[in-house]
């Protein structure tokens, strides 16, 4: 029997597929939809301390090979997601879920993480260091000094399982520098990648989203090679205790297979989930299982990280 089960930080999941933060996770209704699908778990929309309206619409557009968005971190505020998760962990004690969060400043990030630390939350926390869409706020993880400082401060008080959501990097030296920083900390996972920031999609003579004159994060088919490169670059460089979540360009079981081959322990679906709905989890899981059967693999461990090189 072929299985796509996996584990992150010792927590077990029946399936390695889940939503990517930002898609199907703003409201409890959407989260319940992912929870009750074939997905192994869900992650909540990145939460700030307080509710945020986000940028003006239109702010998300499906485009031929993917998506472009400049949502601007709209969310219902930390308590909305944390209260839901605290309730859920009592109702479903055998499942583990992810809480995504970031502050609008390092101080706010610490305030949020301290609240999570002091709560009864037993799940996994993902600190989003890579939102590309808040005007005037650069993607934190492109600033290595700030990233190092924030992580040093966080691990002074945060003892629950924590991972980080990363932007794509495009230079080998940056992979080296980023990995050297992450390896200093007891991170449980890194999630590669967030959208490729600040792309521009044009239809006729116009941009397709309103914020930032049309500049937005790119997802979908466009970003798979970049996503795979980031997954594999960090798989090669990080301490084995830091697991990799692969995100970017997952349309099919073959795409999920490639993420795992590059080293991913969990695979997230964003743009395709937005286009297709939660039925995508069933389809992609079945496609992945068919590939595994054809190749004689019974579990993800049989091929995870086993990407072949040409000598
Ligand atoms: O809300 C957004 O604009 C957003 C976020 Br926080 C993120 O991490 N990635 C993205 O593509 N959009």
- Per-residue pLDDT of the chain (311 residues), as tens digits, is 899 999 999 999 999 999 999 999 999 999 999 999 999 999 999 999 999 999 999 999 999 999 999 999 999 999 999 999 999 999 999 999 999 999 999 999 999 999 999 999 999 999 999 999 988 888 999 999 999 999 999 999 999 999 999 999 999 999 999 999 999 999 999 999 999 999 999 999 999 999 999 999 999 999 999 999 999 999 999 999 999 999 999 999 999 999 999 999 999 999 999 999 999 999 999 999 999 999 999 999 999 999 999 99
Angle (CA) 276-24-150 rounded to 5° is 130
The atom of ligand 1 lying closest to the CA of 70 is 3
Task: Answer yes or no: is the C-beta of 69 below 6 A from any ligand 1 atom.
Answer: yes
Task: Answer yes or no: is the C-beta of 124 below 6 A from any ligand 1 atom.
Answer: no
> How much distance in Å is there from the Cα of 75 to the middle of ligand 1?
11
Residue nearest to atom 7 of ligand 1 (CA): 131
Task: Answer yes or no: is the C-beta of 22 below 6 A from any ligand 1 atom.
Answer: yes
DSSP one-letter string for the chain = -----EEETTEEES-SEEEPTTSS-SSHHHHHHHHTSS-SB-BPPPB-SS-B--SPSS-EEEETTEEEE-----B--HHHHHHHHHHHHHH-TT---EEEE--SSHHHHHHHHHHHHHS---SEEEEE-----STT---GGG-HHHHHHHHHHHHHH--S-EEEEE-----HHHHHHHHHHHTTS--SEEEE---EEEEE-EETTEES-SGGGGEEEEEEGGGHHHHHHHHHHHHHHS-TTSEEEEES---SHHHHHHHHHTT-SEEEE-HHHHHH-THHHHHHHHHHHHHHHHHT--SGGGTTT------
Tell whether pTM > 0.95: yes
Ligand 1 pocket test: pick from 73, 142, 166, 222 the residue with the most ligand atoms within 8 Å of its Cβ.
Answer: 73
Task: Answer yes or no: is the C-beta of 247 below 6 A from any ligand 1 atom.
Answer: no
Task: Answer yes or no: is the C-beta of 220 below 6 A from any ligand 1 atom.
Answer: no
25 belongs to the catalytic site: no
Nearest to 247 by CA among 2, 37, 258: 258
> How much distance in Å is there from the Cα of 306 to the middle of ligand 1?
31
> How much distance in Å is there from the Cα of 224 to the middle of ligand 1?
17
């Amino acid at each position: 029997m072929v299985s796509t089960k996996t584990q992150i930080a010792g927590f077990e999941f029946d399936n390695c597929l889940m939503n990517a933060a930002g898609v199907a996770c703003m409201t409890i209704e959407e989260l319940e939809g992912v929870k009750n699908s074939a997905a192994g778990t869900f992650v909540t929309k990145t939460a700030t301390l307080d509710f945020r309206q986000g940028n003006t619409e239109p702010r998300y557009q499906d485009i031929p090979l993917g998506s472009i968005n400049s949502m601007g971190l709209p969310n219902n505020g930390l308590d909305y997601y944390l209260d839901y998760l605290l309730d859920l962990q009592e109702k479903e004690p055998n499942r583990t879920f992810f809480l995504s969060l970031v502050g609008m400043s390092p101080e706010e990030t610490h305030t949020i993480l301290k609240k999570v630390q002091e709560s009864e939350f037993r799940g996994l926390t993902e600190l989003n260091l890579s939102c590309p869409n808040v005007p005037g706020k650069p993607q934190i993880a492109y600033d290595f000094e700030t990233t190092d400082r924030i992580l040093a401060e966080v691990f002074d008080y945060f003892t629950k399982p924590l991972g980080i959501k990363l932007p794509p990097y495009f230079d080998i030296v940056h992979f080296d520098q980023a990995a050297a920083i992450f390896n200093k900390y007891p991170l449980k996972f890194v999630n590669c990648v967030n959208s490729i920031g600040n792309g521009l999609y044009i239809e006729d003579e116009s941009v397709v989203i309103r914020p930032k004159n049309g500049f937005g994060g790119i997802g979908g088919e466009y970003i798979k090679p970049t996503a795979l490169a980031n997954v594999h670059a960090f798989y090669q460089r990080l301490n084995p205790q830091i697991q990799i979540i692969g995100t970017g360009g997952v349309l099919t079981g073959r795409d999920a297979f490639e993420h795992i081959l590059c080293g991913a322990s969990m695979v997230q679906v964003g743009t395709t989930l937005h286009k297709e709905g939660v039925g995508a989890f069933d389809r992609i899981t079945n496609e992945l299982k068919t590939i595994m059967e054809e190749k004689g693999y019974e579990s993800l461990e049989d091929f995870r990280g086993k990407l072949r090189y040409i000598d």
